[in-house]
Structure formats: structure tokens, C-alpha cells
């Protein structure tokens, strides 16, 4: 049971390991692109290519949906970013219940967006946990865990792609060793929440430290992105870094947060706090394509002293 790209490596690994996949559950096709054409999920595309039986129920909290699910007579359900909270009946439908591949080190970052919030919060490490699912939000007993460091410049898209393969390996080990692994109860006192991200989360608060803004730029990809406004138009920041402010006069007389300090050639810096400035490396003005700073400044003449936001 899975939907996005991140779930495909796990499905592929199960298949390559020789397990019999009696059914693949994924979200219904959704409109996408400029023409709003109905588009299959990445998991469905893979399942079609491998002649796997596909189910895309629009509702799962019905007696009919549960009976159909039970009819597969599987040993276990494997859930990787399916996109819906499963009713208790689904979790208990098969002898070995349901195993979830969760992209965090539980109990940290329970919820819909653990990879994003780990980066936003400045974590230096994360990982994948396989878990026996219960009716709570990522509260089930832990089976296996695998840890990895987060790259200093790694964004959420890149980290999610890497973790999807870590998760596939961990799932393979979990299924192989299932009978010998002792489930461990989570320490619920250490739990943190990684909620669904909202569009407004991406609006840059220039009063934050540069490091915090850089983490948001990295973490809020591909949604909601980190954005500000310039002359009434949305300005999305795709890549940024931080640097010490070299100017003693500026330290004595700080500018308002969000003020442009330098805008020439391939260097664009914005004032954040008293000692550090944000360096914007890749950005996109509303209605324009995404581009590097040098190309952007060739077309948009930002002025020192102008304020973003």
C-alpha cells in the first residue's frame, strides 16, 4: 500500500526478494499538469509495468472495502506512504498485521512530513523505522531502525529519495527476520509531531536567523517552498546559504530584516540578524523560470537597500 515515488523502491524490493504480492493498493488517479489530465501514481505505474493486481478505492472506511481487502488472504500488509489513515479492521485483516516503513527515527517526527521537518528543525541525522501499525498516529511498536546523517546541503527532495532506498533495504531485512525480531514499545514521552505542511509555512520570516531560513529553504521542498515577495510578486528561494557580515558599519547600524545588502554579478545577500547574512544562490520570480542568481540579476535589477517581504 503506497502512492508516491518514495514507495516504489520498497515495492520493487519486495518483488525482487521473491515475495508474492497479491495486491497493490494506491491512491486514485488525480488531475495533474496544465491540462489537469488524470495521472496515475508512481506506485500504480510500477505495478502496471510488472503486471500486479491494482486497487484504488476512493473510500476505505466501508464494510465492502474491508471485505475486499480481507479477500486477498495475505500474510501481512506493507504500508509505505499510502496517504490515508487505515481503519483498525485493515490493520488486523491479516495474521501478521500491517508493517509501516516510516521515514524518521521514531518516536521523533510522527506524522505526514517527517523528512521535511527534520531538515527544517536543523537535525543532523535521521533514518527509517519499520513499525507494527496500530490505530494511533505512528505509535506502533518498533521493529527495526536504520540511521543516516543528513547532508549539510541536502534538501528534502534529495533526502527523501535517498531514504526511500534505505527504507527498501530495511523492509527487506524486516520481512526476512520478522519471526525473530522482538517489537519494542515506543517511548511516547519523546514523541514529536511532523504535521502536514501548509502553504503559509513557506512564507519567509526575515527576522529569523539565517541558518533557520536556510533550513526552511532546504526542508520546504517540493512544497510549500520558501518564498517572499518583491514589488508585489512572489519570489521563491530554491537554494541559499549563510555568511558572516564583513561590514563593521552595518554591524553598528543594522538594517531592517529582509534588506538587500548586495546585488551584483552572482552575489545576492539579504540581511537577517546582527552577524549573519543570507546568500541567495537560486531563485524564481513569479511568472519566470527558476534560475541561478547571476542569470536572475541580469534580468531583474535589484537595488541595495530594497526590502523583501
pLDDT in tens, 97-131: 999 999 999 999 999 999 999 999 999 999 999 99
| 3 state SS of 155 | coil
- Sequence-distant (≥ 6) Cβ neighbours of residue 73 within 8 angstroms: 22, 94
| 3 state SS of 100 | strand
Give the whole-angstrom CA distance, residue 35 versus residue 33: 5
Q: Is the pLDDT of residue 253 over 60?
A: no
Sign of CA dihedral 46, 51, 53, 58: positive
Confidence of residue 137 (pLDDT cuts 50, 70, 90): very high
Whether a cis peptide bond, with omega within 30° of 0, leads into 222 is yes
Confidence of residue 33 (pLDDT cuts 50, 70, 90): confident
Confidence of residue 255 (pLDDT cuts 50, 70, 90): confident
Radius of gyration of the chain (CA): 23
* Each residue's pLDDT tens digit, 54-89: 999 999 999 999 999 999 999 999 999 999 999 999
Q: Is the pLDDT of residue 251 over 80?
A: no
* Each residue's pLDDT tens digit, 213-240: 999 999 999 999 999 999 999 999 999 9
Average pLDDT, the chain: 94
Can you give the pLDDT at residue 198?
97
Contact between 60 and 84 (Cβ < 8 Å): yes
DSSP result, 167-232: HHHHHHHHHHTTTT---B---GGG--B-PPP-GGGGB--TTS-HHHHHHHHHHSTTTT-EEEEETT
Q: Is the pLDDT of residue 96 over 90?
A: yes
Confidence of residue 245 (pLDDT cuts 50, 70, 90): low
**b or e along 183-197 (b: 16 or more beta carbons within 10 Å of the residue's beta carbon)?**
eeebeeeebeebeeb
Can you give the pLDDT at residue 249?
47
Confidence of residue 134 (pLDDT cuts 50, 70, 90): very high
Confidence of residue 248 (pLDDT cuts 50, 70, 90): very low
The CB-side HSE value for 216 (13 A sphere, CA atoms) comes to 25
Give the whole-angstrom CA distance, residue 8 versus residue 14: 10
Q: Is the pLDDT of residue 147 over 70?
A: yes
Q: Is the pLDDT of residue 250 over 60?
A: no
- Sequence-distant (≥ 6) Cβ neighbours of residue 124 within 8 angstroms: 149, 150
* Each residue's pLDDT tens digit, 190-199: 999 999 999 9
Reference 137, options 198, 66, 77, 85; nearest CA is 85
**Percentages helix, strand, coil for the chain, rounded to the nearest 5?**
30, 25, 45
Amino acid at each position: 500500500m503506497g502512492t508516491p515515488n518514495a514507495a516504489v523502491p520498497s515495492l520493487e524490493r519486495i518483488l525482487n526478494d521473491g515475495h508474492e504480492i497479491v495486491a497493490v493498493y494506491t491512491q486514485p488517479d488525480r488531475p495533474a499538469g496544465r491540462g489537469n489530465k488524470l495521472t496515475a501514481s508512481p506506485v500504480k505505474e510500477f505495478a502496471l509495468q510488472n503486471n500486479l493486481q491494482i486497487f484504488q478505492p476512493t473510500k476505505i472506511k466501508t464494510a465492502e472495502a474491508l471485505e475486499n481487502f480481507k479477500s486477498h488472504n495475505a500474510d501481512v500488509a506493507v504500508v509505505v506512504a499510502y496517504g490515508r489513515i487505515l481503519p483498525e479492521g485493515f490493520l488486523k485483516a491479516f495474521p501478521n498485521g500491517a508493517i509501516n516503513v516510516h521515514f524518521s527515527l521514531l518516536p521523533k517526527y510522527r506524522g505526514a512530513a517527517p523528512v521535511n521537518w527534520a531538515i527544517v528543525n536543523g537535525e543532523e541525522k535521521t533514518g527509517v523505522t519499520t513499525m507494527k501499525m496500530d490505530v494511533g498516529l505512528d505509535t506502533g511498536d518498533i521493529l527495526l531502525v536504520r540511521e543516516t546523517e543528513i547532508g549539510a546541503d541536502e534538501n528534502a527532495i534529495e533526502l527523501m529519495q535517498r531514504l526511500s532506498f534505505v527504507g527498501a533495504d530495511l523492509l527487506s531485512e524486516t520481512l526476512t527476520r520478522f519471526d525473530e525480531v522482538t517489537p519494542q514499545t515506543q517511548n511516547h514521552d519523546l514523541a514529536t509531531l511532523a504535521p502536514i505542511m501548509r502553504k503559509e509555512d513557506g512564507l519567509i520570516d526575515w527576522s529569523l536567523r539565517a541558518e533557520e531560513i536556510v533550513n526552511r529553504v532546504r526542508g520546504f521542498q517540493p512544497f510549500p517552498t520558501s518564498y517572499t515577495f518583491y514589488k508585489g510578486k512572489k519570489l521563491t528561494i530554491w537554494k541559499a546559504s549563510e555568511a558572516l557580515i564583513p561590514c563593521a558599519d552595518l554591524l553598528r547600524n543594522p538594517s531592517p530584516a529582509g534588506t538587500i545588502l548586495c546585488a551584483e554579478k552572482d552575489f545576492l545577500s539579504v540581511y537577517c540578524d546582527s552577524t549573519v547574512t543570507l546568500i541567495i544562490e537560486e531563485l524564481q520570480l513569479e511568472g519566470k523560470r527558476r534560475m541561478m542568481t547571476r542569470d536572475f540579476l541580469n534580468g531583474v535589477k535589484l537595488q541595495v537597500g530594497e526590502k523583501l517581504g
